[in-house]
Amino acid sequence: MITSLEMSRRGFLKASGLAAGGLVLAFQLPLIVRQARGASPSGGTLNAFLTLDPEGRVTFFSPFIEGGQGVYTALPQIIADELDVAFETISVEQAPAGEAYKIMFGGTQRFTGGSMSVRSSYTAMRQAGAAARQMLLQAAADRWEVPIGELDTQPGRVVHAASERSIGYGELAEAAGALEPPTDPPLKDPSRFRYIGKPIQRNDSTAKANGSAQFAIDVRLPNMAYAAVKQSPVLGGDVASMDEAAIADRPGVISVERLPGAVAVIADTYWHAQSALDALPVEFENAAAAGLNSEQLAEEMQGRVDEAGMTAESHGDVEAAFLDAERVIEAVYQMPFLAHATMEPMNATADVTAERCEAWVPNQGVDVVVQQIAEITGLSADNITVHTPYIGGFYGRRFITDYGQQAVRLSKAAGRPVQLIWSREQDTQHDYFRPMVTLKHRAAIDAEGKVSGWHVTVVGDGPFKRLMPQFMQDGIDSSALEGVTEQPYTIANRRVDWVSHDYPVKIGFWRSVGHSYNGYVTESFIDEMAEATATDPLEFRRQLLGEAPRYLNVLDSVAEMAGYQPSVQEENGRRSAYGIALHLSFGSIVGEVAKVSIEEGRPRVHKVWCAVDCGSMVNPDTIEAQIQSGISTGLSQTLLEEITIENGEVVQKNFDTYRFLPPSLMPDVEVQIIESGAEMGGIGEVGTPPVAPAVASAVYKLTGQRIRRLPMARHDLTASA
């Protein structure tokens, strides 16, 4: 045990680059993660999340990145409670790559995504704090030669009431660090939480309000050059030829480099690099997407909705339900490609030498980045350091770090540090898009007018199949189907089938992934079923939620909060309507009501009410912020967003044509958090899926138009309003 602890400590110091920095680390508090790893009795992995210096300052090494979701605040809240220190004494650093920080899925994974950071590490963080506190208590007991049971802590101090002595944590740091970490430290009684569950203020607002917050794009190194890149406009092409001489004399140009599928110009400033690149004559060839049109692709996919496909989920006897049906309703929905449009464009900075590589790569999973750099450079992982500063938005895009690989290749070629920035045009065209998907829903209505069967066919691939095939289950891509499978509604006979459809356009994870379209389509079709049975959407859902009390509670809560009305309202000559939707994603059940009117042929969303049952929570203020954020994304895809492709080239290139929600369209938002005591759910993505169906439900009431293709900007609702 001691040996492995020592090794882990040395490995950690080296990996984090602290040893050379002269910082005195009094000790590190290791943690034994007791998450079950199968049935293995030998248990867990040693981890190092916390350091304490002699002044009592705590540094927390976060395994998760901060990209706005508030994890750099939430995790220290948990630590502060269990370690018993003031929240303000904890500073946060991004943990380096390495096995020690793989704390998800039984110690096998580390990534930031799937709305998993807080819920996947909640117990581990509590244990980390509690183990450290226990070691400090033991160190004080040893020093004072009193039984540990007589000691208690106050924030940052161990106290011995009987002798009226107390001592700061910092003074105990070294002695505590020499102790064996406890395997089963006692956790605090939740009734005594000082930080968990409270609206603690973020620790990054000041830096983000005065320009000092550092993003990867802000890295400045001695002798650093800047690079701009151009990838094949027709997707998936190679460089055929270019005329480097044509730009050789332009100011600041250092070199022109070829990369896989791209050319890059390296110069003394980004502007010199980008403007020279814009002037570089370059031809591409062999484009995988040559001739591809997204409209045609949609038609192809629509042509496959009646294929048998692979069955992902089946209950009862769907065939029999449809044979016995009195009536059948069906609808085909079409969902577009979407871009992430993170405000900080893709960028990375790399400094590659013969011996080592240091890189700043915005990412959602640092270990993969290290591995890729090792492959490109031939360096061993020990000699590669990847930093992940604050990230200017990720939403799933930064799982794929193609830009990081490019920066490393460029630095290697140039023999100096290089910062690569994708222009917004590159960022938009060469995204890993939210997949285009076609869905067909059918419902069987029996002689009593009840829904007796429900059959769904999803045509289109999800990101697992393309990017992480290890997550395919029995040949099924759950990332394409999540949100239509596992429905709470009591419909005895139902089935979900999947028809894989490949196309030469890169796809990836987009905020709420499969839920981003399945939430919309499933809940809209529930409305279609309600209409077929002449029931109000709210009442129809209530009738089908008899076996799902948690869902019913969320639904009723949001309806009550919004003052939901089934019929169109008339106020001061303005017609408005309420639409409602309910959706489980990432472990949280979310109900939303949207109040909508039609202005100039477009839906105008005035307010969205949201009830979220996330089981339990760490920071209600962050939850409110994330729900507001998720709703803005959901409304954005409802109203505006769409990537189209013509002749293999992405049509939208910048924010003038790839429009996302501007402030003028942001509705008022009211959030109610329900702590049902169920297992903790996610927050970062869960506000997004119910927005579109809630808005569409209201639009249907107002216009009689059932919108089955997003965004709504495609539809003129004037005539029907």
Partner 1 sequence: MMVTLTVNGTQHSLDTEPDTPLLWVLRDQLNLTGTKYGCGIAQCGACTVHVGGQAMRSCVTPLSAVQNQEVITIEGLSDDGLSHPLQVAWREIDVPQCGYCQSGQIMAAAALLASNPNPTEEDIASSVNNLCRCGTYLRINKAILQAAEARGQHKNQTQGEAS
Least distance CB 81 / ligand FES (angstroms) = 27
The b/e string for 527-562 (b: 16+ C-beta within 10 A; e otherwise) is bbbbebbebbbbebbbebbeebebbbbbbbbbbebb
Nearer to partner 1, 334 or 388 (CB): 388
Which partner in partner 1, ligand FES, none is near 647 (CB below 5 to 8 A by kind)?
none
Short-list 438, 483, 435, CA closest to 457 = 438
If phi > 0 it is left, if psi is from -120 to 50 it is alpha, else beta; for residue 415 that is left
Q: Is residue 390 at the binding interface for partner 1, with CB under 8 A as the rule?
A: yes
DSSP one-letter string for 493-511:
EEEEEEE----SS-B---T
d(CA 650, CA 234) in angstroms, rounded, equals 8
Q: Which of 209, 245, 308, 719 binds partner 1 (CB under 8 A)?
A: 209
Q: Which of 68, 453, 693, 711 binds ligand FES (CB under 6 A)?
A: 68
d(CA 476, CA 563) in angstroms, rounded, equals 41
Nearer to ligand FES, 68 or 682 (CB): 68
Quote the DSSP letter at residue 715: S
Least distance CB 653 / ligand FES (angstroms) = 14
Short-list 492, 441, 457, 453, CA closest to 325 = 453
Nearer to partner 1, 446 or 621 (CB): 621
Q: Is residue 664 at the binding interface for partner 1, with CB under 8 A as the rule?
A: yes
What's the length of the chain? 721
Stretch near partner 1 under the rule CB under 8 A, chosen from 173-181, 187-195, 266-274, 482-490 = 266-274
Backbone angles phi, psi at 400, to 5 degrees: -105, 115
Nearer to partner 1, 479 or 629 (CB): 629
d(CA 144, CA 148) in angstroms, rounded, equals 10
Nearer to partner 1, 210 or 473 (CB): 210
Alpha-carbon torsion (333, 336, 337, 343), positive or negative: negative
Stretch near partner 1 under the rule CB under 8 A, chosen from 101-109, 127-135, 213-221, 580-588 = 213-221
Q: Is residue 668 at the binding interface for partner 1, with CB under 8 A as the rule?
A: yes
Least distance CB 278 / ligand FES (angstroms) = 16
Token pair in block for residue 231: 């990838």
**Segments in 486-619 forming alpha helices (H):** 515-532, 537-544, 549-562
Q: Is residue 106 at the binding interface for ligand FES, with CB under 6 A as the rule?
A: no
d(CA 202, CA 659) in angstroms, rounded, equals 30
x-or-dash string of contact with partner 1, 64-93, rule CB under 8 A:
---xxxx-----------------------
Which partner in partner 1, ligand FES, none is near 637 (CB below 5 to 8 A by kind)?
none
Q: Of 636-665, which residues contact ligand FES (CB under 6 A)?
A: none
x-or-dash string of contact with partner 1, 268-287, rule CB under 8 A:
-xxx----------------
# residues near partner 1 by CB under 8 A: 61
Nearer to ligand FES, 343 or 568 (CB): 343
Which partner in partner 1, ligand FES, none is near 591 (CB below 5 to 8 A by kind)?
none
d(CA 598, CA 99) in angstroms, rounded, equals 54
Short-list 190, 186, 185, 188, CA closest to 32 = 185
How would you classify the pairing of strands 225-231 and 262-267? antiparallel
Least distance CB 274 / partner 1 (angstroms) = 9
Amino acid symbol at 535: T
Q: Is residue 393 at the binding interface for ligand FES, with CB under 6 A as the rule?
A: yes
d(CA 30, CA 77) in angstroms, rounded, equals 19
Helix axes 691-703, 515-532, angle to 10 degrees: 40
Stretch near partner 1 under the rule CB under 8 A, chosen from 87-95, 263-271, 402-410, 592-600 = 263-271
Stretch near partner 1 under the rule CB under 8 A, chosen from 85-93, 123-131, 214-222, 701-709 = 214-222
Q: Which of 107, 261, 345, 579 binds partner 1 (CB under 8 A)?
A: 345
Q: Of 219-258, which residues contact ligand FES (CB under 6 A)?
A: none
Other beta carbons within 10 Å of 289: 21
How would you classify the pairing of strands 58-62 and 90-94? parallel
Q: Is residue 655 at the binding interface for partner 1, with CB under 8 A as the rule?
A: yes
Q: Of 324-343, which residues contact ligand FES (CB under 6 A)?
A: 343
Cα 64 versus chain centre, distance? 11
Nearer to partner 1, 272 or 541 (CB): 272
Quote the DSSP letter at residue 593: E
CA Rg value for the chain: 28
Q: Which of 628, 637, 638, 697 binds partner 1 (CB under 8 A)?
A: 628
The beta strands (E) that lie in 308-416 are given as 310-315, 327-335, 347-352, 357-360, 384-387
d(CA 712, CA 721) in angstroms, rounded, equals 14
Least distance CB 294 / partner 1 (angstroms) = 23
Q: Which of 4, 201, 380, 720 binds partner 1 (CB under 8 A)?
A: 201
Determine the Cα angle at 649 with ends 333 and 438, to 5°.
10
- Cβ distance 515 to 583 under 8 Å? yes
**Segments in 166-293 forming alpha helices (H):** 169-177, 205-209, 270-279
Q: Is residue 218 at the binding interface for partner 1, with CB under 8 A as the rule?
A: yes
Which partner in partner 1, ligand FES, none is near 669 (CB below 5 to 8 A by kind)?
partner 1
d(CA 64, CA 136) in angstroms, rounded, equals 26
Nearer to ligand FES, 392 or 591 (CB): 392
Q: Is residue 125 at the binding interface for partner 1, with CB under 8 A as the rule?
A: no
Q: Which of 19, 36, 108, 208 binds partner 1 (CB under 8 A)?
A: 208
Least distance CB 662 / ligand FES (angstroms) = 12
Which partner in partner 1, ligand FES, none is near 217 (CB below 5 to 8 A by kind)?
partner 1
Residues binding partner 1 (CB under 8 A): 67-70, 201-202, 204-215, 217-218, 220, 226, 251, 269-271, 341-345, 390-395, 421, 423-424, 621, 625-626, 628-633, 636, 654-656, 660-664, 666, 668-669
Residues binding ligand FES (CB under 6 A): 68, 343, 393
